[in-house]
Amino acid sequence: MSGLSLHRKIEENTGLLIFGILFVSAIGGLVQLLPVLNQESLAIATENTRLYSAVELTGRDIYIREGCHVCHTQQVRPLVAELERYGPYSRADEFVYDRPFLWGSKRTGPDLHRIGGKFSDDWHRIHLINPRAVIPNSIMPAYPWLDSTPASATGNITAKLRTLVLLGHPYTEQDMANAESDLAGLTEMQALIAYLQMLGLGYSEEVMQ
Amino acid sequence: MNQSNKTYHDKIVIRLIQFSILWAIAAMLTGVYLSAELVWPTLDFGQFWLSFGRLRPLHTNGIIFGFGVSALMATAFYSVQRTSHTPLFLPGLAWFCCYAWQLLVLTGGLSLLAGFNTAKEYAELEWPFDIAITVIWVCFAIVFFGTVANRKIKPIYISNWFYGALIIVIAMLHIVNNLAIPVSLGKSYSLYAGAKDAMVQWWYGHNAVGFLLTGGFLGMLYYFLPKHAERPIWSYRLSIVAFWAFVYSYIWAGPHHLHYSSIPEWVQSLGMVMSVILLAPSWATMVNGIMTVSTAWEKLRKDPALKFIVLSLAFYGLATFEGPMMSLRSVNVVSHFTDWTIGHVHSGALGWNAMITYGTFYFMVPRLAGRELYSSQLAHLHFWLALAGTMLYIMAMWAAGVSQGLLWLSVDQIGELSFSFKEVMASMAPYYLLRLVAGVIFLFGTVLMAYNLFMTLKGQLPVRVTAPPVNPAFAVAS
């Protein structure tokens, strides 16, 4: 049977065509995804892995809601210029509790994976209320509403922690019991800054050497 | 079987074209606004719903799911009836697909402005919308494959293979990538974390481009180009080889979005190699298309619809060459994270997707309305505006992207960074302004088309077309 007559069978049978497309398109995904999804080293927490506190997790969800990842990456590449500009390159074990991942695809603004501790909380607050107050040429949007919205308005934090426990994040009953009171009195601005200030800080220098 | 049962369902095609154009204008207007915000950052007036981070997914989702999918449904419904010599299977379900999809795009868009966002590119909509997409998509599959199964002609025509691949593969990608555990109606956490999440997302993200914006639109190409040039496809064998090579190899290319990241190195390299291999089926299709019109060049002179389709093929060739080049690690080190990527996307989205869609709309609407196009001159003007807008856009972004990439990496003799991030960012202003101008030009052309097609359809009842008799040599035995 020649190739063309084999193909005639496929192109004259709707079911065969559907099956053929599904089978042929699935191969690449199976070969690439299955080994990676089963690779334990990508999912094991190390001393580089930080479990987000209730406040930091809330800040992270605000970061997602406002689309910060649209213009800021969180993925320092192992290149001389990037090590110098941002700090140690990003490792897989730092992202074990990142759901979703926030590596981004575009650097309209700088990478933020090592931003923690580089600026003061006050600087971040002024910058987020009006970026041009501290960086004259900045094209970043302003986020004034974060300063007047309570962090608890971001969503039910206890329910979030419970969902993450289902997914294997090691929050304790204590963490969940305290979550709401941890957020009490904080604004969304404070939660977001708490998140920004912990980015990259979990990274232990010894592991690098 | 009585006569009316053989009449093609074309009203739904007209309605989908109208929605598609509506979303095109809305989403391109959003794009123009976004590009203006990058020049004048206070244009959001401190309003959360006008903020760049929320408008950007509205722009991308509006183009892909509003403009793109509506156009794909319209052209799939139009061509599958004609290539199968039978009316749509379950037309009621087809109408449900049409309106449910528009409702989904509208409400989904509003949810993005409200800040419900999974952060996964082109899959930003939260889980209730993901379930709705799955349901509508299954209905789309039933209508499409039901019509193919009912065909009166033995072979399934090539365009239907591509629409079929669009439906099947997008369903697979959508379901796997969006698996998540809901916290509330508007919030969920991905089933995958960190590097694994990145792998799954770019397997989805790259192939949403592959099978929706490439595969689906190749379905358009394989029906409308030969139809319009009044020539058969140049090589049937080449289209068979190109189709299966495309379906097989596209899916491997996702990891080139993750070069120098913490996913395993072998996956990055494999993704890169397969991206280069992908050039072969992409260009095979381009060659097949160009050879098909090669004896009909004179038609290009007076036919704006064919002009659009042939030009879209050229941009298809450009974008499918540029993509594999950008997937090479040594090029990617410069292009990654820069505006070059944005330029690449737009040479595909404006040059290929929008242009071929415009070509098919200019082809279909006069036939559906049973009268000549309202103004051929306006359509020619639209053609030049679209070409000028696209070229200006991608050249501005090439210049911006290459200089960003090189300036970021630049270090002096003692290894100190040559430029601060702020300096590089500030130097982008002229390019961003040019891009805004380019976007306005392209959008203006689209508005001209909307007016032209509106006037063509105005007051007309859809032409009733019945299935022609089938050559007995190819007829399905009944």
Per-residue pLDDT tens listing for chain B (478 residues): 444 568 999 999 999 999 999 999 999 999 999 999 999 999 999 999 999 999 999 999 999 999 999 999 999 999 999 999 999 999 999 999 999 999 999 999 999 999 999 999 999 999 999 999 999 999 999 999 999 999 999 999 999 999 999 999 999 999 999 999 999 999 999 999 999 999 999 999 999 989 999 999 999 999 999 999 999 999 999 999 999 999 999 999 999 999 999 999 999 999 999 999 999 999 999 999 999 999 899 998 889 999 999 999 999 999 999 999 999 999 999 999 999 999 999 999 999 999 999 999 999 999 999 999 999 999 999 999 999 999 999 999 999 999 999 999 999 998 899 999 999 999 999 999 999 999 999 999 999 999 999 999 998 888 999 999 998 888 987 6
pLDDT for residue B4:
52
Q: Tokens 């032209």, residue?
A: B452
CA–CA dist B292, A110 (Å, integer): 47
Find the residue in A nearest to B418 (Cα).
A81
Instruction: Give the residue from A42, A63, A73, A83 with the most B CB atoms within 10 Å of its CB, the best one to mutate.
Output: A42
CA–CA dist B143, B157 (Å, integer): 17
Q: Decide if pLDDT at A1 tops 60.
A: no
Candidate CATH numbers 3.10.20.30, 3.20.20.70, 1.20.1560.10, 1.20.210.10; the one for domain B11-459: 1.20.210.10
Nearest-CA neighbor of B164 among B204, B137, B131? B137
Q: Tokens 């110098």, residue?
A: A84
- Report CA torsion sign: B377, B379, B383, B388: positive
pLDDT for residue A207:
47
Q: How far is CA B463 from CA B74, B78, B457, in A?
A: 16, 13, 11
Q: What is the mean pLDDT of residues A104-110?
A: 97
CA–CA dist A172, A166 (Å, integer): 12
Written as one string, the DSSP assignment of A130-197 is -GGGTSTT--PPP-GGGGGSBGGGG--HHHHHHHHHHTT----HHHHHHHHHHHTT-BHHHHHHHHHH
**B161 interaction partners in chain A (CB closer than 8 Å):** 11, 17, 21
Residue A74, Cβ neighbours under 10 Å: how many? 23
Q: Tokens 């981070």, residue?
A: B53
Residue B429 in contact with residue B461, Cβ under 8 Å?
Answer: no
**A28 interaction partners in chain B (CB closer than 8 Å):** 248-252, 274
pLDDT for residue A48:
87
pLDDT for residue A5:
82
Radius of gyration for the alpha carbons in chain A, expressed in angstroms and rounded: 23
Q: Tokens 């392209």, residue?
A: B442
Beta-carbon pairs below 8 A across chains A and B: 258
CA–CA dist B84, B78 (Å, integer): 10
Bridge partners for B181 per DSSP? B189
User: What pTM value is reported for the model?
Assistant: 0.95
Helix (H, G, I), strand (E, B) or coil at B187: strand
Model confidence over A29-88: pLDDT tens digits? 999 999 999 999 899 999 889 999 999 999 999 999 999 999 999 999 999 999 999 999
Residue B48 in contact with residue A148, Cβ under 8 Å?
Answer: no
Range of lowest pLDDT (A91-105, A164-178, B3-17, B392-406): B3-17
Q: What angle do CA A70, A128, B34 make, to 5 degrees?
A: 40
Count the alpha carbons within 13 Å of A70 in the hemisphere toward its beta carbon.
Answer: 24
Instruction: Give the residue from A86, A101, A134 with the most B CB atoms within 10 Å of its CB, the best one to mutate.
Output: A101
Residue type, B465: V
- ipTM higher than the 0.85 cut: yes
Nearest CB to A71; choose among B52, B251, B267? B52
pLDDT for residue A209:
41
Q: What angle do CA A90, A94, A95 make, to 5 degrees?
A: 100
The minimum CA-CA distance between A185 and chain B, rounded to whole Å, is 22
CA–CA dist B17, B102 (Å, integer): 12
Residue B126 in contact with residue A76, Cβ under 8 Å?
Answer: no
CA–CA dist B151, A96 (Å, integer): 51
CA–CA dist B418, A108 (Å, integer): 19
Residue A47, Cβ neighbours under 10 Å: how many? 11
**How far separated are the first and last CA of chain A, in Å rounded?**
61
CA–CA dist B310, B359 (Å, integer): 9
CA–CA dist B166, B217 (Å, integer): 9
Contacts of B99 (CB under 8 A, 6+ apart): none
Residue B207 in contact with residue B173, Cβ under 8 Å?
Answer: yes
Q: Mutual orientation of helices A54-65 and A173-183 as an angle, nearest 10°?
A: 60
CB pair distance less than 8 Å for A67 and B195: no
Percent of the residues in chain A that have a pLDDT greater than 70, as a whole number = 96
Residue type, B239: S
Domain boundaries, chain B: 11-459
Count the alpha carbons within 13 Å of B411 in the hemisphere toward its beta carbon.
Answer: 12
CA–CA dist B349, B346 (Å, integer): 5
pLDDT for residue A182:
96
Beta strands in B13-152 (DSSP E): none
Residue A205 pLDDT class (50, 70, 90 cuts): low
DSSP H stretches of helix in B41-126:
52-61, 69-84, 91-113
Helix (H, G, I), strand (E, B) or coil at B94: helix
Element (H or E) spanning B190, and its range?
strand B187-190
pLDDT for residue A194:
98
CA–CA dist B119, A99 (Å, integer): 10
Instruction: Give the residue from B197, B341, B417 with the most A CB atoms within 10 Å of its CB, the best one to mutate.
Output: B197
Residues counted in chain B: 478
Nearest-CA neighbor of B239 among B160, B347, B145, B352? B160
